[in-house]
Structures are given as structure tokens and as C-alpha cells.
Amino acid sequence: MNTMKALVCREFGPPQDVVALQDVAPAPRAGMDEVLIEVHYATVSHATGLLIEGRYQKTPPLPFVPGTEGVGRVLACGGDVGHVRPGDLVAFICDWGAYGEQIVVHGATVYPIVAGLGALQALAVPISYGTAYAALHWRAQLRQGDTVLVLGAGSGVGAAAVELARLVEGVTVIACASSAQKRQAALQGGAHHAVGPDGLIGQVKKLTQGRGADLVFDPVGGDLLLQALRCTAQNGKIVSIGFASGTIPQVPMNILLVKNLTVFGFFYGQYIGWTPANERVKYAAQMQAMMAELFALARRGAIHPAVTQVFPMDQLCQALSALHGRNVVGKVALAIKGDIP
């Protein structure tokens, strides 16, 4: 391959102005701890837009190829990589680069897809389900019998949190989503109750006989989190994973004090090399074990990861518009070298 197709971001700014499909040099050879992958599909997320606009936690050098998560077929492996081999179907997480036909990824964040699980099913797992699982179990220590309030339940990570919380014995899941379509999807995903953001406090209090939720899973932030604080049970917990609302809330400490609440911040990027310390190798075994568990759950139908909209490679802006329109339930993806269903 002399050249390959890739979406290239020339400068930071609105995606429609700064990203173009181009012929570029193919990916380099895999280093000793790296994997060369032919990319079939790559996800589109809110982080995609932030990365292109230069507003994400990590700032790539210009020009760069966006895309932080994908699935594809292994073309070659470095000598120190033993858990995958050429020909394997894999999912991967990267700093950027997934919107190109080939990519070289550190082996620590390449995950073999279990036989019987489709590429688009697997694509929805690494970031959305990985974030939800780690936030609920590693950080917030979800317990049997808890009542869990999931904000943003119609998003990819919110839908994942609903399904994963539902698997814990005795847990009651209350899903909060912005539209009737998303609330219905949350109920189909296993939520016991689905509510809208308007009047959230009263709805949650009514469903819990005045007690409130033991754990709040929050990818939204903004005013919705401030409402959720007021319907969290005494000694309850809140785990914040992001601010999809665009607003970072100012948390009233007096409410935390009088209700003995604990607020956790959770940044999944720590586990996949998205911090200055670059600890992807440190957490590789833990991440590989979690991914294997999640893929196994998906294969046997205990969870239902799904990409609900797939766009051609040259329609990134349309994919972002669909995502920002908040009418999408689940994940959005670009077909890089894969077929559009």
C-alpha cells in the first residue's frame, strides 16, 4: 500500500472547516510492543469533536488523524506482543488515528474479540462499556441492593451503565433520559424505571419512597447533577465521568456535608494511557481482563452493545450532527474499510 485514506485535521476548529478526507502515507511498521491494524469501523463521540476543536484533555500535534476507538483486523504484530496475532479481529483504543485505513496501536490497548461477537457489537464495548464498568465497580463500589440513578441513560455510556448495573443482584436502576424514545430504550435495556430530567427530584423520591438513590452515575454534569444531589440518599455516592451538558457544575458542599455524600471523579483515560504519566502498560492486565469479561457478557446476550448509526468515512460532520442532536440511542460510527449495514 503506497497511500491510504484518512480523515486529516489540519488545524483546530469546527470539524466542517478543518477536517478533510485525504490520501496519506500508510501506517508505519509495528514496533516491538505494537500492533498494525486494518481499521474496519471507528466510533464517533462527543470527545471526537472536542479533540478536533483542541478542547480535549490531550492536544495532538497538527496535522493529525482523529478517532480514538475502533475495530479491525490485525495485519502484523511486534515481537513483544503475544495476546493477538495476524488475522485476529480486535478492538482497540488509541490516542488518535482511528479515522485512517491503517493504524499502529500499543499492544496494551488492543483487545481480542471473542469468537461469535460481531465487529459492530464489539465496537461499542471498549470505551462506553469499559467506562461504565470501571466507574461503577472499580471507583464507586456498586453494592448488591443499591438503587442506582443513571443520568444521560440514552447515551452510549449511560445505556452501558444501565445494563451493567442491572446485572448486580438486587440493584434497582432508575434511568434518566431526555426523550421518550431514550427512556423506552433504557427500559428495554433493563432499567426498572425511566424518568425525564424535568422534576427529577420528585420522581426519584417517589420511586424510592422518599429515600433517594444510593448511587448516581453522572456523565452529564450541569444542572442535572445539582438536581441529582438533592435526590441522593443519606450516605449516598455520586460518580462523575464527564460533562456532556457542556457545563461543569459548582457543587454545594453543604449538601455533601449534611447528607454525608461522597463524590467520586472518574477518568477512564488513566487506564488507557491518556494522562501525562501514560500508564496503559501498568493497567494492561486489569483492562484486558475487564474487556474479556465484557465481550463474554455480550456474546451470551447478558449485555447488548450496539452501534445504531454507521456513516461513510467522508461523513464525519453528519455523524457528529446526529450525535449532538441527541436523537441517537447508542453509539455512532464511521465505516473506514467496513461495510455499512
CATH number of the domain encompassing residue 251 = 3.90.180.10
If asked whether residues 9 and 120 sit together in one domain, one would say yes
Domain boundary pick from 220, 239, 265: 265
Predicted local confidence at residue 327, as pLDDT = 67
Q: Do the Cβ atoms of 247 and 227 come closer than 8 Å?
A: no
If asked whether residues 115 and 145 sit together in one domain, one would say no
If asked whether residues 25 and 122 sit together in one domain, one would say yes
| Other C-beta atoms lying within 10 Å of the C-beta of residue 328 | 19
Give burial (CB, 10 Å; 0-12/13-18/19+) of 90.
buried
CA angle (126 as vertex; 123, 128 as ends), nearest 5:
95
Pairing label, strands 232-240, 213-218: parallel
Q: What does the pLDDT look like over 9-25, one tens digit per residue?
A: 999 999 999 999 999 99
Tell me what the mean pLDDT of segment 137-143 comes to: 98
The answer to whether residue 307 is domain-embedded is yes
Predicted local confidence at residue 1, as pLDDT = 64
If asked whether residues 17 and 117 sit together in one domain, one would say yes
Q: What does the pLDDT look like over 215-242, one tens digit per residue?
A: 999 999 999 999 999 999 999 999 999 9
Predicted local confidence at residue 47, as pLDDT = 85
| Residue 87 in grid coordinates | 488475522
Q: What does the pLDDT look like over 308-337, one tens digit per residue?
A: 899 999 999 999 998 887 667 778 999 999
If asked whether residues 220 and 293 sit together in one domain, one would say no
If asked whether residues 146 and 259 sit together in one domain, one would say yes
- As a whole number of angstroms, the longest Cα–Cα distance in the chain is 65
Predicted local confidence at residue 27, as pLDDT = 86
Predicted local confidence at residue 194, as pLDDT = 98
**Number of domains composing the chain:** 2
Predicted local confidence at residue 326, as pLDDT = 66
The answer to whether residue 17 is domain-embedded is yes
Q: What does the pLDDT look like over 161-209, one tens digit per residue?
A: 999 999 999 999 999 999 999 999 999 999 999 999 999 999 999 999 9
The answer to whether residue 270 is domain-embedded is no
Domain boundary pick from 211, 240, 265: 265
Range of the domain at 149: 140-265
pTM over 0.85: yes
If asked whether residues 144 and 103 sit together in one domain, one would say no
**Nearest-10 crossing angle of helices 200-207, 222-229:** 40
The answer to whether residue 229 is domain-embedded is yes
Domain boundary pick from 245, 265, 285: 265
If asked whether residues 151 and 181 sit together in one domain, one would say yes
If asked whether residues 121 and 175 sit together in one domain, one would say no
